[in-house]
Chain A
Amino acid sequence: MVAYAWLVPLLPLAAYVFLLVLGRRAPEGVAAGVSVVCSLASFLVSAAVFRAAASQGPVGPYLFHWLTLGSASISFGFEVTRLNALMILVVSLVSTLVLLYSAGYMHGDERFPVFYQYLNLFVFSMLALVLSPNLLQLYIFWEMVGLCSYLLVGFWYFKPEAALAAKKSFIVTRIGDTGLLIGIVLLYWASGSFDYSTVFAAAGAGQWSLGWVSGQELTTLCALLVFLGAVGKSAQFPLHVWLPDAMEGPTPVSALIHAATMVAAGVYLVARCYPLFQASPGALATVAWIGAITALLAALIALTQRDIKRVIAYSTVSQLGYMMLALGVGAYAYGVFHLMTHAFFKALLFLAAGSVIHAVDTQDLFEMGGLYRKLPLTAWTFLAGALALAGVVPFAGFWSKDDILAAALNTGHPVLWGMLLLAAFCTAFYIFRVYFLVFTGAPRQPERWQHAHEGSWVMTLPLLVLAAMATIAGFFNSPLNGDGLEHFLFADSPQHQIGYTAPENVPLMLLSLLVALLGIGLAAAVYWRPRQSQRPERWARAWGPFYTLSYRKFYLDEVYYAALVYTGKGIAAVVDWIDRYVIDALVRVVGRLVYSVSVLLKFSQTGQVQAYSTVAALGVLVLVAWAMLRAGGVH
């Protein structure tokens, strides 16, 4: 079965090509139907591959020749490992649900078939990314998912904000991607190959060098460059600024690309390259610290945002930070586990938010309220997602987040643990702030509330499936299931070589649960009861500067704009000035000079034979004189 894993990305590709041929006039039903069927088939094949991988372990790679470089050969192909078997399962499941949901959400959009083209291209690229057997192929699809993100963020191209956000997302991630590309090139020269296995074998041995850097330093340099790519794609601090802006795209895109799959690719990359990171303690520590800083920073920003999608987007940034931290402290399995549970509950939150936006046609939290009575199904499913995100037992996020917290403390990182615990408190607060503002209380804008209604079954069915997953997916690696995911991931490495796992620690579990409940309680106290509706404003006033700092996202956008964009534009302007007024001016001066000399010479061209022959005679005289004096006579 594993040998047919190429079908997994190929089915969405087939759907893409089919829709491309049909063009932009394809009927909505055909576009959505073909896409959902192909994606569903892809999910079924993924499930079969997953079963096979669970029993057989890693298989592959299957390769064919792509390019010759001197004596080296670069191949293309696919491989199935335990990690990517899990990834294709999650990606194809979420993709299928989002493709189904989009049929309702995008209904009536004039570029409906184009939207499905892009989504299929994305699903193909994402699946091909995780099935790649070497770093170069990973990079190729890494850029392809970035392209799809660009196209989909800018899908409503006529909105200037969407156009700006699309460009920003591409360029900011491109900064990380350039680091990744350099890292891949250096790894190639150090190990002689792009293949994971060869690279990691060389990294593990540590006996490598490039002439100008060697051994441990080379390992650390390469790991950090690869991590830079992950920082860009997974929106980690300091390159996280693109993800909240990317919310300008349609909400299904936010759910699929900017929550469940593409942004998790950075986490997948670090997990896939884990042997490289393990060979460098410095790189691992960097991953852990960046993860913790991101988790806390984004959670603090999410506290005060007014746009429902931006709150969830910052939440995504924050949760990706948790995953990075897990990988950084050595808890490989927990990072992957959180990636999986997060994919479900965050896709759910976005799709539920999309259902709300679809119903009331605004994204401002303070224009909603009381929607529980209009959208009960959305409210219940959102609640499941919120509980999972906040980490309330027994929802999915509880198990994975708790594992990460325990791992941070047990591996001797109390400061990081403290940061995460604070972030967990913020998480519970901000997501229930959203819940109470949207679904409870009185409608703040009755006319919007009046027209609100649930979407059709294509929108509610994915919500229900994802709500079920957000509720139960955590049991996959809970003690109740005997830590099934760990056993699945580590089955081929008996001594748990590729990462730390911790025994369950009940007091810690209770502590993190308590923190989550405190956050929910505070949110309820501030936002739930209508008679306390004045309180949020008072809070904001009391915390004045901090509130502003959070609301303005710590001014990082402004700082970057001043530091990078202005500098770059300044250099560009200087270069352009030099080009016009120094180089080209010099050229013109030389041109004038030549011209004026020729103007002078022009006067010698009198056209009079007498003048010419006089000059010629003079010349002969001079030559003869020179010959007599110098050479002693004329022969």
Chain B
Amino acid sequence: MGLALWMVLVPVLAAFVCVLVPARQACVQRGLALAGSVITLLLALLAWLRFPGAVQAGGGANPAAAGVPLVSHLPWFTLPGLWQQQDVTVGLSFGLDGLSLTLAGLTALLALLAAAAVRPEEAEMRRFALWSQLAAAGAIAAFTALDVLTFFAGLELSLFAGFFLIDLSGDPQRRAAAVKYLLYRGLASVLLLLALFGIAYGVAGGYSSLQPDANGNLPGAPAFTLAWPALQHNLHGLSTAVFPDHARAVLFWVLLLGILVEEAFVPFHTWLPTAHEHTSAPVSMLLGGVLTKTGAYALLRFGAGLLPDQLQHFATWVAVLGTINILYGAFAAWAQRDWRRLIAFGSISHMGLVLLATAAGNAAGLQGAMFMMVSSGLLTAFLFFLAGAVQARTQTAELGRLGGLSRPLPLLSGFWLVAALGALGLPLTSGFVSEIQSFIGSFHRFPAISFVAALGLILSAVYLLYAIQQTTFGPLRPEYASLADAQARELWPAVVLTAVVLWVGVYPNGLGQVLGQTVQQLLQMGG
């Protein structure tokens, strides 16, 4: 017990210690960031081991955590008289169901690898360690929060930490990029907040308007709650007579709009390529790998979890949006001449598939969407890591100025090919397992849309292999003849990422069992 809470607290503590240690001790700072992430990751692994047992034991009796296997509950603060003179207690409550556990673990892993990837000349270590640990803490809190307000607390923490991280690089336009990021995602937070509080009030209002039955008892009117498992449960039993469809529809669209901005979906995406282009690689790993996955998380947790009927009702819209993102992202990636922008658009294209698969609403689609979040996080971070490692040597990430790198940098080039192949969905990598499940799901519900979306499979091969051909293939450029290939200290993140990508791809059931728990739960809500 308490694992979830400690997964949030450990990085916060690490960040706190970072403040106490002098900035010039860069090694200590890096060590703190690494240690914080390693401990968080070990906690995630421990939770992973305990997970099957906890699922069998069933969730606690507490309605605020129903259906969530691993929960840690602490009262945090009380909002007096928030609803009909009732006090509402906000919990410092975190829970690990399949999706939360996976994403929290991914956050810890990428925070670890990002800390390992920092180059002293690129960013001041203390500031990176401090903000990356806080960003990880915020993201983990958002992914594991049982309470809507706690979710926002985590979201805002990661938002501000992300702002300072982007601002760390030496790029002259970093400040503008960071502000753009902050404004966009701040707007997204407002929209999400509106939608979720709307739902909470709608549920409470709906129950309080029910008539007493013959015995004069109110039919199980629950207290006002901000805990999503309780909201989920209460919504499930609430008829559309007292919480009308049109109100739900409005809330759904506000939520969806928030998600589209949060996750950088077209046309609210321009902050993402800009941010990646003007920040350093370790920050891009965190930003592209996990900090942007909160939108997709909100889609599954609150879209599919709280408003499944609305998601089904507007599923075609969501599927079309997803397909637009897949194709727009892929074509835009093809046109890019800078690796960092290319990776950013590629990840937009991948996340479009998450929209499409989630809209399908069946087991394969939901599971595919979750796999895709993980896979996209891993591979986006992997590609940014490599682009950063090469950029540190060649001083450029422009395709036109690279070429023939296989000769001086055989190891980095090899890993780059692995990452690109994973991203284009080659079998036995995580990319394939995600795509096949997503498409199995989407073809069942939207055959025509899916035929169009499948073009993305060809396009991803086009833009990635084109970029690889420009980068590692071809005649050696004389200015790169004496570059030194990666040493062990720089290689182990690539080895770890390769191992995880292959593990998911070769034996997907390991991850599938954990994510499947959330899939089953979401299907029960929808069905």
| A162 partner residues in chain B, CB cutoff 8 A | 473
Contact A69/B367 with A157-B473, A157-B474, A158-B404 known, Cβ cut-off 8 Å: yes
User: Which residue, A171, A185, A584, has most C-beta atoms of chain B within 10 A?
Assistant: A185
| A157 partner residues in chain B, CB cutoff 8 A | 404, 406, 472-474
Partner of B476, one of A158, A185, A584: A158
Q: How far is the CA of A158 from the CA of B448 in the complex (A)?
A: 42
Contact A572/B332 with A68-B516, A69-B367 known, Cβ cut-off 8 Å: yes
The answer to whether B475 touches A171 (Cβ under 8 A) is: no
| A557 partner residues in chain B, CB cutoff 8 A | none
| A591 partner residues in chain B, CB cutoff 8 A | 183
The answer to whether B447 touches A210 (Cβ under 8 A) is: yes
Q: Which of A591-630 contact B (CB under 8 A)?
A: 591
Q: How far is the CA of A482 from the CA of B426 in the complex (A)?
A: 45
The answer to whether B270 touches A579 (Cβ under 8 A) is: yes
User: Which residue, A159, A167, A189, has most C-beta atoms of chain B within 10 A?
Assistant: A167
The answer to whether A178 touches B458 (Cβ under 8 A) is: yes
Please tell me if B519 contacts chain A, counting CB pairs below 8 Å. Answer: yes
The answer to whether A69 touches B363 (Cβ under 8 A) is: yes
Chain B positions 313 through 340: 1 when the CB is less than 8 Å from some CB of chain A, otherwise 0: 0000000000000001001101110000
Contact A167/B469 with A24-B410, A572-B332, A579-B332 known, Cβ cut-off 8 Å: yes
The answer to whether A70 touches B440 (Cβ under 8 A) is: no
Please tell me if A495 contacts chain B, counting CB pairs below 8 Å. Answer: no
Binds B, one of A137-145, A271-279, A520-528: A137-145
| B180 partner residues in chain A, CB cutoff 8 A | 587
Q: How far is the CA of A448 from the CA of B458 in the complex (A)?
A: 44
Please tell me if B526 contacts chain A, counting CB pairs below 8 Å. Answer: no
Give the tally of cross-chain contacts (CB within 8 A): 136
The answer to whether A174 touches B457 (Cβ under 8 A) is: yes
Q: How far is the CA of A87 from the CA of B205 in the complex (A)?
A: 69
The answer to whether B462 touches A70 (Cβ under 8 A) is: no
Partner of A70, one of B427, B465, B523: B523
Contact A182/B512 with A158-B475, A579-B332 known, Cβ cut-off 8 Å: no
Q: How far is the CA of A144 from the CA of B364 in the complex (A)?
A: 24
Cβ of B414 to closest chain A Cβ, rounded Å: 9
| B335 partner residues in chain A, CB cutoff 8 A | 569, 572-573, 575-576
Contact A139/B427 with A147-B421, A181-B436, A185-B440 known, Cβ cut-off 8 Å: yes
The answer to whether B458 touches A143 (Cβ under 8 A) is: no
Q: How far is the CA of A188 from the CA of B444 in the complex (A)?
A: 10
The answer to whether A174 touches B461 (Cβ under 8 A) is: yes
| B448 partner residues in chain A, CB cutoff 8 A | 212
Please tell me if A491 contacts chain B, counting CB pairs below 8 Å. Answer: no
Please tell me if A136 contacts chain B, counting CB pairs below 8 Å. Answer: yes
The answer to whether A182 touches B332 (Cβ under 8 A) is: no
Partner of A576, one of B336, B407, B427: B336
Q: How far is the CA of A572 from the CA of B333 in the complex (A)?
A: 8
Among residues of B, the one whose C-beta sits closest to the C-beta of A175 is B458
User: Which residue, B432, B454, B461, has most C-beta atoms of chain A within 10 A?
Assistant: B461
Q: How far is the CA of A579 from the CA of B277 in the complex (A)?
A: 15
Please tell me if A67 contacts chain B, counting CB pairs below 8 Å. Answer: yes
The answer to whether B461 touches A154 (Cβ under 8 A) is: no
Please tell me if B358 contacts chain A, counting CB pairs below 8 Å. Answer: no
Q: Which of B491-527 contact A (CB under 8 A)?
A: 507-509, 512-513, 516, 519, 523
Q: Which of B439-494 contact A (CB under 8 A)?
A: 439-440, 443-444, 447-448, 450-451, 454-455, 457-459, 461-462, 465-466, 468-469, 472-476
Interface range, A side:
35 or more
Q: Which of A22-45 contact B (CB under 8 A)?
A: 24
Q: How far is the CA of A212 from the CA of B448 in the complex (A)?
A: 10
The answer to whether B512 touches A68 (Cβ under 8 A) is: yes
Please tell me if B400 contacts chain A, counting CB pairs below 8 Å. Answer: no
Cβ of A77 to closest chain B Cβ, rounded Å: 14
Please tell me if B304 contacts chain A, counting CB pairs below 8 Å. Answer: no
Please tell me if B437 contacts chain A, counting CB pairs below 8 Å. Answer: yes
The answer to whether A587 touches B334 (Cβ under 8 A) is: no
| A182 partner residues in chain B, CB cutoff 8 A | 439, 443, 450-451, 454
Among residues of A, the one whose C-beta sits closest to the C-beta of B427 is A140
| A573 partner residues in chain B, CB cutoff 8 A | 335
Q: How far is the CA of A579 from the CA of B454 in the complex (A)?
A: 22
Please tell me if A556 contacts chain B, counting CB pairs below 8 Å. Answer: no
The answer to whether A167 touches B466 (Cβ under 8 A) is: yes
The answer to whether B334 touches A189 (Cβ under 8 A) is: no
| A159 partner residues in chain B, CB cutoff 8 A | 475
Please tell me if B26 contacts chain A, counting CB pairs below 8 Å. Answer: no
Contact A164/B428 with A68-B509, A185-B440 known, Cβ cut-off 8 Å: no
| B433 partner residues in chain A, CB cutoff 8 A | 67
The answer to whether B465 touches A167 (Cβ under 8 A) is: yes
| A147 partner residues in chain B, CB cutoff 8 A | 421, 426
Partner of A583, one of B267, B364, B407, B523: B267
Q: How far is the CA of A168 from the CA of B408 in the complex (A)?
A: 25
Contact A163/B469 with A140-B427, A171-B461, A569-B334 known, Cβ cut-off 8 Å: yes
Among residues of A, the one whose C-beta sits closest to the C-beta of B184 is A587
Please tell me if B362 contacts chain A, counting CB pairs below 8 Å. Answer: yes
Partner of B474, one of A163, A174, A175, A579: A163
| B473 partner residues in chain A, CB cutoff 8 A | 154, 157-158, 160, 162-163, 166
Cβ of B526 to closest chain A Cβ, rounded Å: 12
The answer to whether A68 touches B334 (Cβ under 8 A) is: no
The answer to whether A164 touches B469 (Cβ under 8 A) is: yes
The answer to whether B443 touches A186 (Cβ under 8 A) is: yes
Please tell me if A4 contacts chain B, counting CB pairs below 8 Å. Answer: no
Q: How far is the CA of A181 from the CA of B454 in the complex (A)?
A: 9
Please tell me if A115 contacts chain B, counting CB pairs below 8 Å. Answer: no
The answer to whether B437 touches A69 (Cβ under 8 A) is: yes
Chain A positions 179 through 223: 1 when the CB is less than 8 Å from some CB of chain B, otherwise 0: 001100110110000000000000000000010100000000000
Q: How far is the CA of A154 from the CA of B404 in the complex (A)?
A: 12
The answer to whether B443 touches A189 (Cβ under 8 A) is: yes
The answer to whether A171 touches B465 (Cβ under 8 A) is: yes
Cβ of B331 to closest chain A Cβ, rounded Å: 4
Please tell me if A534 contacts chain B, counting CB pairs below 8 Å. Answer: no
| B443 partner residues in chain A, CB cutoff 8 A | 182, 185-186, 189
Among residues of B, the one whose C-beta sits closest to the C-beta of A575 is B331
Please tell me if A65 contacts chain B, counting CB pairs below 8 Å. Answer: yes
| B512 partner residues in chain A, CB cutoff 8 A | 67-68
| B468 partner residues in chain A, CB cutoff 8 A | 167
| B410 partner residues in chain A, CB cutoff 8 A | 24
Among residues of A, the one whose C-beta sits closest to the C-beta of B515 is A68
Q: How far is the CA of A428 from the CA of B462 in the complex (A)?
A: 38
Partner of A140, one of B428, B439, B474, B516: B428
Contact A67/B509 with A181-B439, A185-B440 known, Cβ cut-off 8 Å: yes
| A65 partner residues in chain B, CB cutoff 8 A | 509
Q: How far is the CA of A329 from the CA of B410 in the complex (A)?
A: 49
Cβ of B141 to closest chain A Cβ, rounded Å: 29
Q: How far is the CA of A189 from the CA of B450 in the complex (A)?
A: 14
The answer to whether B472 touches A568 (Cβ under 8 A) is: no
Q: How far is the CA of A605 from the CA of B451 in the complex (A)?
A: 58
| A175 partner residues in chain B, CB cutoff 8 A | 458
Q: How far is the CA of A70 from the CA of B407 in the complex (A)?
A: 46
Complex A-B: 20 CB contacts under 8 Å:
A65-B509, A66-B507, A69-B440, A70-B362, A70-B364, A140-B427, A140-B428, A158-B475, A163-B469, A167-B466, A171-B461, A178-B455, A181-B439, A181-B457, A182-B450, A568-B459, A576-B336, A583-B267, A583-B269, A584-B270
Q: A67-B512, A579-B270 are in contact. List 12 more A-B contacts (CB 8 A).
A: A24-B410, A66-B507, A67-B433, A68-B509, A178-B458, A182-B450, A182-B451, A182-B454, A186-B447, A575-B328, A575-B331, A576-B335
Closest 10 interchain pairs by CB? A70-B363, A163-B473, A576-B335, A140-B427, A572-B334, A572-B335, A575-B331, A584-B270, A572-B331, A143-B427
| A residues lining the B interface (CB < 8 Å) | 24, 65-72, 136, 139-141, 143-144, 147, 154, 157-160, 162-164, 166-167, 170-171, 174-175, 177-178, 181-182, 185-186, 188-189, 210, 212, 568-569, 571-573, 575-576, 579, 583-584, 587, 591
